[in-house]
Structure 1
Amino acid sequence: MGPVLIRRPVLDAIVAGTVTVAFRRWSHARVRPGTRLRTAVGLVEVLAVDEVDEADLTPDDARRAGFASLEALQKENARREGTLFRVVLRPGGEDPRVALRSAGDLSADDRAALDARLARMDRSAPWTHSVLTLVAAHPGVRAADLAERLGRETLPFKRDVRKLKELGLTESLEVGYRLSPRGRAYLHMPT
């Protein structure tokens, strides 16, 4: 998820309002106020990012970050090096890709826009159609296995699937991927 990795229980607590901050050690601030992070529970918005001195942390800081004690927070922070930052967070609403991928009806304009985007993605080397059809034929199959079927490395393959996910065409599963209703509509597949 980028610069602020947040475990699922903490994400659930952010949505519930019981966790409002995260503490991270970085060489420099990797997010800034206004950043909206896409997570498994929807968007999480960054309200503030401040350098903090570990000696100034309080039990209340630990509680607001989801730790049982100040000692537990300090132990977690000791595992990494760098400047300590307090990142103030709040739920930011539903991930807009959820609504996008569930839209199973494509207008002529929607289809033309997708055609244009996929053509740009295919400019240097065509891949979008082969990845979409492979995911359609093998839902829930590990990314490494799918990549191997195409003779590709796993990490670049996963990046490409994420690009398709940004367009609402694919969805991530516990293992592997599947086409979204939007992706199925784009490929003219029955839902």
Structure 2
Amino acid sequence: MLLKADLLARIKAGEVDTVFRRWKRSTVKAGGTLMTSAGLLAIDSIEPITLADVTLPDVKRAGFASLDEFHRWLDTMKDGDLCIIRLHYAGEDPRIALRNQRDLSPAELAQANAALDKLDGKSPWTRQALRLIATHPGRLAEDLAGEMAMEKAPFKSKVTKLKELGLTESLEVGYRLSPRGETVLAAK
């Protein structure tokens, strides 16, 4: 579920606790979480709702000033079942603390390397990607993918897995190694 930066800021500030979506298939689950650029969101509930059942208090909780404004926004959405999602800000991105760890114990280094080995499977790619990102911080993902003879989308998906381990950070354009990533790469 993609949320715009201004909406994320309002959710983080506690001004908005509701979003609406039209879905053919939900991308989040009640009781789950959603990692965003503003931090972690907790998904409290997801309920199908008919347009006739949407109330002014509902749309105000979603940050709309009026039902008319909500309807104009809804007209821009794709077809699908209308859902009302209740959520709240659950805290900072836990990967931030992880990626800022520079001093790793031998056990933490071994754990990070085991995780990389597991990601590699039968086709090693993790260390090559880390070296490329270290050598070319801020370089376009498409360019880095080309260096690894990959398409952009699969490459970005792989880098997301490195990010989950706290080894990379996304930039406005491209990526860079985190302090943790620098330590793990230097120790190999």
Please tell me the TM-score bracket, short chain as reference: over 0.9
What amino acid is aligned across from residue 48 of structure 1 in structure 2?
A: S
1:35 equivalent among 13, 32, 35: 32
Give the aligned partner of residue 103 of structure 2: 105
Give the aligned partner of residue 89 of structure 2: 91
What is the CA distance between 1:120 and its match in structure 2? 1.4
SS of alignment partner, residue 155 of structure 1: helix
TM-score (norm 2): 0.94
Distance 1:51 1:152 in 2: 39
Bigger mean CA offset, 48-57 vs 27-36: 27-36
Aligned residue runs from structure 1 range 7-156, under 5 A? 7-78=4-75, 79-156=77-154
Distance 2:69 2:167 in 1: 41
Distance 1:29 1:166 in 2: 22
What is the CA distance between 1:75 and its match in structure 2? 2.1
TM-score (norm 1): 0.93
What amino acid is aligned across from residue 57 of structure 2 in structure 1?
A: D
Write out per-residue CA displacement over residues 95-120 of structure 1, whole angstroms, 9 at most, x where no aligned residue: 11111000011110011111111111
Distance 2:55 2:127 in 1: 53
For structure 2, the residue ranges without an aligned partner over 5 or more in a row are none
Give the aligned partner of residue 157 of structure 2: 159
Distance 1:134 1:94 in 2: 28
SS of alignment partner, residue 104 of structure 1: coil
Contact 1:43/1:91, CA 8 A, preserved across alignment = yes
The change in CA–CA distance for 1:187 and 1:29 in structure 2 (over 3 A counts) is closer
Give the aligned partner of residue 183 of structure 2: 185
Contact 1:45/1:92, CA 8 A, preserved across alignment = yes
Contact 1:38/1:95, CA 8 A, preserved across alignment = yes
Contact 1:61/1:70, CA 8 A, preserved across alignment = no
For structure 1, the residue ranges without an aligned partner over 5 or more in a row are none
Query: Aligned pair count?
Result: 186
SS of alignment partner, residue 187 of structure 1: helix
Taking only aligned residues, the RMSD between alpha carbons, in angstroms, comes to 1.3
SS of alignment partner, residue 146 of structure 1: helix
Distance 1:50 1:124 in 2: 42
The change in CA–CA distance for 1:150 and 1:31 in structure 2 (over 3 A counts) is closer
